[in-house]
Amino acid sequence: MADPLENSNKFNSGNLILFIYKWRKPLVLTTIIAVICSVIFSSPYFITPKFKSFVILYPTSSGSISKALLTDRTGQQHDLLDFGQEAQTEHMLQILNSGRIRNNVVEKFNLMEHYKINPSAKYKQTRLQREYERNISFRRTEFMAVKISVLDKEPQIAADIANYIAMLVDSVRNEMRKEIAIPGFQIVEQQYLELKHEIKLKEDSLTMLRTLGVHDYESQSEMLNQQLAIEIARNNNQGIKALEERLEVLSKYGSAYVSLRDQILLDQKQLSILKTRYDEAKVDAEQQLPFKFMVEEAIKAEKKSYPIRWLIVLFSAFSTLLIGIITLLVAENFRTVLKGSEKKDDEHHKTISIPIVSKKERLRNIVKTN
C-alpha cells in the first residue's frame, strides 16, 4: 500500500506543472485582473507621483578655525582642505536629523500646508514629522560622503529643499559652535584685559619709583657702594652724605622695585600666552567658514521616481499567481483528503454490517446447493 505522504510529495514536485496547466484558465484570469487593477490603482489618479532630487556633500576635517589657520600646526593632523572622516560624517548626519534643520525647512517651505495637514488637527505635529521623514532622508555613502534625498510632488520644490538643507548645515553648525565659542571668548577676553590692567598699574608704580631715583636696584646699589668707598677714602664728607642719601632711598624702595619688576616680567609672559588664546577665541567667535564640500547640487528632476509602476504591476501579478496556486493546492488537497475519508468510512461500514440469516434460510441454502 502506497504511503499517502509519499504520494503527496510526488504530487507537489512532479505534477505541479500539470496541476498549473489544469487550472490555467482561473490562474490566468485572476492574474490579468490583478495586472489591470494594479495599473489602474498605481496611476496618478490614486497615487500622487513624486520627483526625487539629491545633494552629495563631504564634511571638512577642521574642528576649529583658529587651530586650522592661526595655531602652529606642526605635528597636527587637521587640515582645512582635508575631507572629513567617519566621525565628521556622523556629526553631519546628526545635525541633518536635528530639530533645527527640520523646523527651518518646515517654516521656509510651509510644509504644513504643502503636505495638506490640517493646522487644527489634534496630532498635526506627529503627521508633519511622519511626512517629513517619509519624503526627506539622509544617509552616509560608501565613500564617507553624505547624501540628502528629497521626494516631492513638485520637482522644483524637491530640488529647492535639498539645496536649502545643504545650505543650512553651515549656519546651524556655526550657531552651535558660537553657543560655546562666544562665552569662551568672553572669559578669555576678561582675563586678558584684567591682566593687562594689572600690568599697567604695576608699571605706573614702577614709574613712580623711578622718579624717586630707583632705576635699577642691583646695578645702582653696586655702583653707589663702590663710589661711597672712594669718597670715604678721599674723606669727602659732602660726597659721602649725598651717596648715603641715595643709598637710603634704594634701601627704602629697592625691595618694592625688585618685586614689581619681577611681577611685571611674569605677568608679561602670562599676557603673551593669554594674547594668543584671546586671538584664537576671537576668531572662533567672530569668523565663519563652510564646514562642507559640495560635490553635487540638487537639480530639477525630469521624470518621477515614485511610484515605480512596472514594479508594482510585476509584484501584483506574481503575488496573485502565487497566492492562486497555493489556494488551489490547499483546496485540492483538502478535497482529496475529504474523499479519502469518505471512502474509508464506506469500506468500514461494509466490513462491519454482517447480514443476520435464520436457521431455516440456512437449511434451505444447504438443500439448494446439494
The whole-angstrom separation of Cα 12 and Cα 329 is 9
pLDDT score for 75: 47
The three cell numbers of residue 19 are 496541476
For the cut 60, the answer to whether the pLDDT of residue 370 exceeds it is no
Phi, psi angles (nearest 5°) of residue 147: -110, 125
**Unique residue bearing C-alpha cell 485582473:** 33
Question: In the chain, where does the domain assigned CATH 3.30.70 lie?
Answer: 51-183+289-296
The answer to whether the Cα torsion of 188, 190, 192, 195 is positive or negative is negative
Average pLDDT, the chain: 80
Who has greater pLDDT, 81 or 216?
216
Taking only the tens place, the pLDDT of each residue in 184-236 is 889 999 999 999 999 999 888 888 888 877 777 677 777 777 777 877 777 87
For the cut 50, the answer to whether the pLDDT of residue 9 exceeds it is no
Most confident of 35-39, 136-140, 250-254: 136-140
Quick one: average pLDDT of 349-354?
50
Ranking 21-30, 129-138, 215-224 by mean pLDDT, the lowest is 215-224
Ranking 110-114, 150-154, 170-174, 227-231 by mean pLDDT, the lowest is 227-231
Among the residues of the chain, which ranges form H helices? Answer: 4-14, 16-22, 24-41, 65-69, 86-96, 99-109, 111-114, 124-135, 155-211, 217-234, 237-286, 309-352, 359-369
Neighbouring-strand partners of residue 54: 149
Ranking 138-142, 214-218, 338-342 by mean pLDDT, the lowest is 338-342
Largest CA distance in the chain: 191
User: Can you say how many angstroms the Cα of residue 326 is from the centroid of all Cα atoms in its chain?
Assistant: 45
Quick one: average pLDDT of 169-181?
86
Instruction: Say whether domain 51-183+289-296 belongs to CATH 2.60.40.
Output: no
Taking only the tens place, the pLDDT of each residue in 289-335 is 778 888 889 999 888 877 777 888 888 888 988 998 888 888 877 77
**pLDDT band for position 8 (50/70/90)?**
very low
Q: Considering the entire predicted model, what is its pTM?
A: 0.65
User: Can you say how many angstroms the Cα of residue 211 is from the centroid of all Cα atoms in its chain?
Assistant: 67
Contact indicator for 137, 149 with CB cutoff of 8 Å: yes
